[in-house]
Amino acid sequence: MPGSTDRKKNRLTAEERRAAIVEAAVRLFAEKGFRGTTTRELAAAVGVSEPVLYQHFATKGDLYTAIIEAICRHRDRDRDGLLELARHAEDDEAFFSRLAELILEWYDEQPEVVRLLLFSALEEHDLKDRFVETQVAMLYEILTEYLERRMDKGVFRRMDPYLAARAFTGMVSHQGMAKVVFGIDDLRGSRQEIARKIADIFVNGIRSHGAQGA
């Protein structure tokens, strides 16, 4: 049986090699974009020759598609946790603070996915649409649902829930984008503290004037 857990081999099984290629491709495409990455340097990063890439992926574009699939599959697992959080949330500050923290965490821990997504949007690849249709749509669904529920209770002021949702995600992800894309990281405090402060501004901004303060 080829390719068990043996570490002495310098030949991998097809499955292992494929995974290694995808991993290196995510790193390189995130760093230099699709057009900016050559199959030569990709092969060098994996530690094999170019034809090995083409045994697993017919074209460079197919490799890009495979990466998209891998990322989307990985991110779909976050879905359930987020829905759970929204359903059982009772304290507004705590809910938005936790949500902000999760988003900031994403920027911190997966900057290569953020860059990949931006490259994809600018270069008009498919990841953009896949991402918007699944991840973004889910986040907005959760947010607008929560906001409308609290508006109905009179805790939040009546307003366009989509605008409010975008305002919130904007406050948070702009912070993440500044760090990942522009290298600006000048805010004091931990990720949790920053998330809490942003949530505080937002919740106070949409709360009915009669309701209790922070």
> Length of the chain, please?
214
Query: What SS3 state is found at 156?
Result: strand
To DNA, the closest distance from the beta carbon of 102 in angstroms equals 35
Residue 7 in the binding site for DNA (CB under 7 A): no
Write down the residue that tokens 């060098």 correspond to: 44
Q: Which residues contact 121 (CB under 8 A, 6 or more apart)?
A: 127, 128
Per CB under 7 A, which region of 3-11, 79-87, 114-122, 203-211 contacts DNA? 3-11
CB atoms within 10 A of CB 144: 17
To DNA, the closest distance from the beta carbon of 76 in angstroms equals 28
Q: Rank residues 26 and 48 by Cβ distance to DNA and give the closer one.
A: 48
Decide: 172 and 182 in contact? Cβ < 8 Å.
no
Per CB under 8 A, which region of 21-29, 44-52, 85-93, 198-206 contacts a second copy? 198-206
Q: How many Å is the maximal CA-CA distance in the chain?
A: 71
What is the C-alpha separation between 4 and 115, in angstroms, rounded?
A: 34
Decide: 169 and 96 in contact? Cβ < 8 Å.
no
Interaction residues for DNA, span 48-67 (CB under 7 A): 48-52, 54-55, 58-61
Residues making contact with DNA (CB under 7 A) = 1-4, 6, 8-14, 17, 37-41, 47-52, 54-55, 58-61
Residues making contact with a second copy (CB under 8 A) = 32-33, 35-36, 115, 118-119, 121-123, 128, 132, 136, 159-160, 162-164, 166-175, 178, 181-182, 184, 186-189, 194, 197-198, 200-207, 209, 213
